[in-house]
Amino acid sequence: MTDFSTEYFTMNEEQAKEYAIKRLNYFQPDAELSCKEIGDGNLNYVFRIVDHKHKDSIILKQAGPVARISDEFKVSPDRNRIESDILKIQYQYVPEHTPKTYQYDPIMNCFAMEDLSDHEIMRNALVKHQVFPDFADHITTFMANTLLLTSDVVMNHKEKKELVKTFINPELCEISEDLVYTEPFYDCERNEVFPATRPFIEKEIWQDEQLQLETAKLKFDFMTKAQSLIHGDLHTGSIFIKEDSTKVIDPEFAFYGPAGYDIGNLIANLIFAYANGKAEIEDEKERHVFTNYLLTTIKDVIDLFKEKFNRIWSQSEIEQVATYKGFQAAYLDSILADTAAVAGLELCRRIIGLAQVIDITSIEDEAARQQAEERCLRAAKQFILQRETFKDGEDFVALVKSSFQ
C-alpha cells in the first residue's frame, strides 16, 4: 500500500488510481476504476480516472519537479497550488468557462478537477479546420471578467496586494521571461529554428536593433506591471472546446502581470491557425470559409473584449482616480497596446524558440512552412514596433491580411 501522506513523489497510473481511492473522496465505495496518463503538455502529469460501474470520471493533475519539455527547467511543484487556487478564483467570476476543481493536496502537489473529455483541445480542432462561432463571445466574457475584476481599478488595493503575494510565481515567470521575451531575439542555442526560415530570422529579427530594444522594454513591463491576475499561458492549447462550450484550463503560469498578455497570446495562436489554414487547405472555398472565420474571430475577440470591459467598468465600483475624464480610455488603450505587443512576441517565440506549435510544424511542404513562418514573423515585427497604433479589431485583422498577401 502506498503512503501519500508524508513525502512527495511523481505518481504512475497505478499509484494515481490508488490515490483516487484513498484520498479523493469522490468516487462511490464500489467504484470500478481505471486510470490513464493523458498529459501531452510541457510541464505536468495528467491522469484520467474512470469509474466504469457508475459512468463517472475525474482528472487528477500532478506537478513534477522538472518541466517535461526540458529538464533544464527546474520548476517548483508549488505551481500546482497556484493553478488550483486561480481556477477557484476564475470559477467565481466565470463558472461557465472554468472547470470545477475539487481538492488540492500540498504533499503530493496535485489536485482533482472536472473531466472535460467531451470537449477537445482547441488547437487540435483548429488544425482539423473546425470552426466555433460562439468562441469569441465565450472567451471575451472570460477575459473581461478575470482581467478587470482582479485589477486595482475594481479591487480593494490591500486585498489585491495580498493576491499579488499569493500568486508570486518566479519559476514559471522565468520561463516566460526567457522563452518569450529573450531567447527568440538572438541566436540562442536553445532555439529550434526551421532551417529554411533561418536566413529571414537572422536578417529581420536577430539583426534588428530597434526590435531588440522594444522587446527589452516589454520584458521589463512583464516583470514589473502587476496589473491583473492573468492566466499567463492563454493559447489554443489551454482551451477545451465544443460547439456550445468553452473552458479555459492550465493557468499554472498565473501571476499579477499585464492584462494584455492573455489577450495577445490568444490572438497570436489564432494567427497560427490562420497560417495553417492558408497553407494546408487545398479547396479554395473551404480555405476561404476557415480563414475568414479566423479573421472574424480575431476582430471579435478585440471588439467584444472592449465592449465587455467597458460594460463591467460602468457597472463596478471604481477606484476614485480611475473615474477622472479620459482615464478609462487611456487604460484600455494601454491594454490593447500590450495585446498587440504580446501577439508579436508569441508569434516570434513559437516559430524561433522552444515549445513550437503543431499549427506550423504540421505543415509538411517545406516551402509552404517557410512562407507561413515568414508571414507570421512579418506580422510579429509590426505588432511589436507599432503596438500603440492598434485600437480595435479591424486594426489587428488589417495587419494579418497584409502580412499574408
135-170 per-position pLDDT tens digit = 999 999 999 999 999 999 999 999 999 999 999 999
How confident is residue 73, by pLDDT bands cut at 50, 70 and 90?
low
Separation between Cα atoms, residue 168 and residue 166, nearest integer Å:
6
CA angle 324, 329, 334 (to 5 degrees): 115
Asked whether residue 109 falls in the same domain as residue 124, the answer is no
* Three-state secondary-structure class, residue 244: coil
Is 5 part of any domain? Answer: no
SS3 of residue 205 by DSSP: helix
Is the predicted pLDDT of residue 114 greater than 70, yes or no?
yes
Contacts of 378 (CB under 8 A, 6+ apart): 204, 403
Question: Is residue 336 domain-shared with residue 392, that is, in the same domain?
Answer: yes
Q: Cα(166)–Cα(332) distance, rounded to whole angstroms? A: 26
Q: Which amino acid is at 331?
A: Y
The whole-number pLDDT of residue 41 equals 59
What span, in angstroms and rounded, lies between the C-alpha atoms of 235 and 249? 10
Residue 307: the pLDDT is 98
Pair (125, 95) in one structural domain: no
State whether 93 and 228 are in the same domain.
no
CA separation, residue 346 to residues 47, 162, 210 (Å): 29, 29, 18
pLDDT of 79 reads 81
Residue 69: is its pLDDT beyond 60? no
Taking 80 as the threshold, does the pLDDT of residue 78 lie above it?
Answer: no
- Residues 296 and 194 both lie in one domain: yes
- Asked whether residue 18 is domain-assigned, the answer is yes
Contact 270, 294 (CB under 8 A): yes
- 92 shares its domain with 179: no
Domain assignment present for residue 229? The answer is yes
State the pLDDT at residue 76.
Answer: 73
Residue 405 · residue 319 · CB < 8 Å: no
Asked if residue 146 belongs to a domain, the reply is: yes
For residue 234, the tally of other CB atoms under 10 A from its CB is 26
Of the chain, the percentage scoring pLDDT greater than 70 comes to 97
The C-alpha atoms of residue 116 and residue 358 are separated, in whole angstroms, by: 22
Span 313-356, pLDDT tens digits: 999 999 999 999 999 999 999 999 999 999 999 999 999 999 99
Burial 364-373 (b: 16+ CB within 10 A, else e): eeeeebbbbb
CA distances from 171 to 6, 73, 90, 175, 260 (A): 25, 8, 22, 7, 21
Specify if 345 maps to a domain.
yes
- 352-390 pLDDT per residue, tens: 999 999 999 999 999 999 999 999 999 999 999 999 999
Question: CA-to-CA distance for 282 and 240, rounded, in angstroms?
Answer: 27
Band the pLDDT of 71: cuts 50, 70, 90: low
7: in domain: no
Q: How far apart are CA 289 and CA 272, in angstroms?
A: 16
Sole residue written with cell 467531451:
118
Interior/surface letters 158-185, b for 16+ CB within 10 angstroms, e for the rest:
eebeebeebbebeebbebbbbbbbbbbb
Domain boundary pick from 113, 130, 164: 113
Among 73, 91, 113, where does a domain finish? 113
**Co-location of 206 and 106 in the same domain:** no
Q: State the CATH number of the domain containing residue 265.
A: 3.90.1200.10
| Predicted confidence (pLDDT) at residue 117 exceeds the cutoff of 80 | yes
Residue 357 contacts residue 123 (beta carbons within 8 Å):
yes
Give a yes or no: residue 6 inside a domain: no
Residues 267 and 329 occupy one common structural domain: yes
Looking at 113, 146, 166, which one is the last position of a domain? 113
Say whether both 256 and 320 belong to one domain: yes
Q: Which helix (H) or strand (E) holds 398?
A: helix 393-403
Strand partners, 257: 228
User: According to the model, what pLDDT value does residue 167 have?
Assistant: 95
Over the stretch 259-283, which tens digit does the pLDDT of each residue have? Answer: 999 999 999 999 999 999 999 999 9
In which region does residue 67 sit, left (phi positive, over 0), alpha (psi from -120 to 50) or beta (all else)?
A: beta
pLDDT reported for residue 74: 65
Residues 148 and 65 in one domain: no
Three-state DSSP state, 230? strand
Give CA–CA dist 205/360, Å, rounded.
18
CA angle 243, 246, 251 (to 5 degrees): 155
**Residue 338: C-alpha distances to residues 28, 108, 205, 283 (Å):** 48, 37, 20, 36
Q: Is residue 1 part of a domain?
A: no
Q: Identify the CA nearest to 404 among candidates 329, 292, 301.
A: 292
- Same domain for 76 and 184, yes or no, is no
When computed from its CA atoms, the radius of gyration of the chain, rounded to whole angstroms, is: 21
Rounded Cα–Cα distance for residues 211 and 203 (Å): 12
CATH no. for residue 62?
A: 3.30.200.20
Indicate the average pLDDT of the chain: 95
CA distance linking residue 113 with residue 102, whole number of Å: 6
Which pLDDT score is estimated for 1? 78
What pLDDT digit, counting tens, does each position of 206-228 carry?
A: 999 999 999 999 999 999 999 99
Shared domain for 222 and 93, answered yes or no, is no
| Domains in the chain, number | 2
Provide the domain limits for residue 155.
120-403
